[in-house]
Amino acid sequence: MARTPWAPGAAALAGAAQALDAVLSDGRSADAALGAFDAAPERAAIRAIALGTIRWYLRLAPSLEPLLAKPGAVSAPVGALLCVAAHQIEYSRNPPEATVHAAVDAARILKSDRATGFVNAVLRRFVRERISLLARVDQSTAARTAHPGWLIEKLKSAWPTEYGTILAANNAHPPMTLRLDASRTSRAQYLEQLSSAGIESIENQWIASAVTLKHPMAVSALPGFTEGCVSVQDAGAQLAPGLLDMRAGMRVLDACAAPGGKTGHLLEQAPSGVSITAIDIDAGRVARIDENLKRLRRSAQLVVADVSKPETFWDGKPFDRILVDAPCSSTGVIRRHPDIKLLRRPGDIAQFAAGQLAILKAAARMLAPGGRLVYCTCSVLPEENEGLLAVWLGDDPGMHVTDMPGAVGLAPGARDRPLGVQLLPGAEAGTDGFYYACLEKTTTGT
């Protein structure tokens, strides 16, 4: 490894600070911000530090404020650097003194040479005083759990006995769960492949396509990944094809398909003669669907269109099955995408609900009489789930909720709701948070 003039870890701290700054200042997603470092030698470290800091930002930032004479006078890059260094001091096993030294060099990498003395002084005080600093901010539930107050109130209202568990699950590291293509390999065969490769795994007991790794790893090292035999997908997300109940020869629409995980799963489980159309509004995201399907050696009709406007793409021939995995607040997948805590705003929920309602109304128009529509989100908020369906069904007599497995039959720890079933993040099933409901179109009405 080539030697650098910087202290070990300085480049990773600088990269993580830049990624955090892009999220805070530019409103970019963490994935987009971290994409700039895909070719960096420190890519893995940058990602780990940045995501960890984002996860705990709402606890770390307030704990640093008393150490800043004028918090608003600190430049955004330097403020981000202080946070990522504070994360390493509080949450990593690195010696605090080494982190402070690396942070000073990271300031130089960020071309903030004049701030090196300031960074050094603030972080040394944080090392000495962090117990009392964090104890002060931890008096607030929002700071202690690193969640915005408005979201805590929504979770508490929706889940008065479970919200504390949800908050804790959101701050945990998510498992890496795989989806097996049963047409190409059995689970027993794949578990043997993993064992032979020295990869420890756990067999999922309630869905046959899922295996969870004990330790996350690069997908390139997974047996059969390049050949399309296995994909990365949360076990909760793997429930959709079974609920859709596809039959031979049916026309199926994946209405909000990108990046293609559920599209691929539908194709893997589709009976003979099923044709699948996958739609997304963004051309770049449709390109990702195409890439994923090519790896899986599968094909579908891919369409770039706004699914809420069927007149722009639909040929008028009804679909027998429609999957609506609607764009949502993603409050069920915060443990995978902690930037949601920083990027979401209270008003976003109503905007998502309006979009979801428009998509559902359009999907109902394209559904054949007697056809089935599966509605799912990765939200845990009723406004996007059963509350939304209640509004829609009240306005549309042509649609009604139809049979689906009860919570006990769907996944361990799932909760029956007035309409549909909710999985909570990190509950007994260990999945992300997902909502599912099955609906049917009558021969009259819509």
Q: What are phi and psi of 213, to 5 degrees?
A: -80, 145
Cβ atoms of 239 and 411 within 8 Å: the answer is: yes
* Per-residue pLDDT at 69: 79
One of 256, 328, 378, 438 is an active-site residue; which one? 378
pLDDT of residue 5: 85
**Model-wide pTM > 0.85:** yes
Q: What is the pLDDT of residue 408?
A: 64
Tokens describing residue 307: 């699914």
- DSSP structural state of residue 110: T
Q: How far apart are CA 383 and CA 401, in angstroms?
A: 17
Residues 6+ apart with CB under 8 A from 344: 148, 151, 329, 330, 331
Checking phi first, is residue 224 left (phi over 0); if not, alpha (psi -120 to 50) or beta?
Answer: left
User: Minimal CA–CA distance to 241: which of 315, 191, 181, 285?
Assistant: 181
Active site residue 328: no
Structure-token pair, residue 131: 């117990």
> CA–CA separation, 221 vs 442, rounded Å?
48
Q: Strand, coil or helix: what is 19? A: helix
Which pLDDT tens digits describe the chain residue by residue (446 residues)?
455 788 999 999 999 999 999 999 999 999 999 999 999 999 999 999 999 999 999 999 999 999 997 767 799 999 999 999 999 999 999 999 999 999 999 999 999 999 999 999 999 999 999 999 999 999 999 999 999 999 999 999 999 999 999 999 999 999 999 999 999 999 999 999 999 999 999 999 999 999 999 999 999 999 999 999 999 999 999 999 999 999 999 999 999 999 999 999 999 999 999 999 999 999 999 999 999 999 999 999 999 999 999 999 999 999 999 999 999 999 999 999 999 999 999 999 999 999 999 999 999 999 999 999 999 999 999 999 999 999 999 998 899 999 887 666 889 999 999 999 999 998 899 999 999 999 999 865 44
Find out whether 362 and 307 touch, Cβ atoms under 8 Å.
Answer: yes
d(CA 354, CA 148): 23
Q: How far is CA 135 from the centre of its chain?
A: 30
Spatial CA neighbour of 310 closest among 345, 263, 268, 361: 361
Residue pointed to by tokens 């109304």: 361
CA torsion 327→329→335→336, rounded to 10°?
A: 30
Spatial separation of the C-alpha atoms in residues 221 and 57, rounded to whole Å = 32
Q: Go through the domains of the chain in sequence order and give each one's CATH number.
A: 10-146 (1.10.940.10), 176-227 (3.30.70.1170), 235-441 (3.40.50.150)
- Rounded-to-10 torsion of CA 403, 408, 414, 415: 70
Q: Residue 443: its pLDDT value, please?
A: 66
Polymer length of the chain? 446
Amino acid code (one letter) for 146 = A
At residue 348, what are phi and psi to the nearest 5 degrees? -65, -30
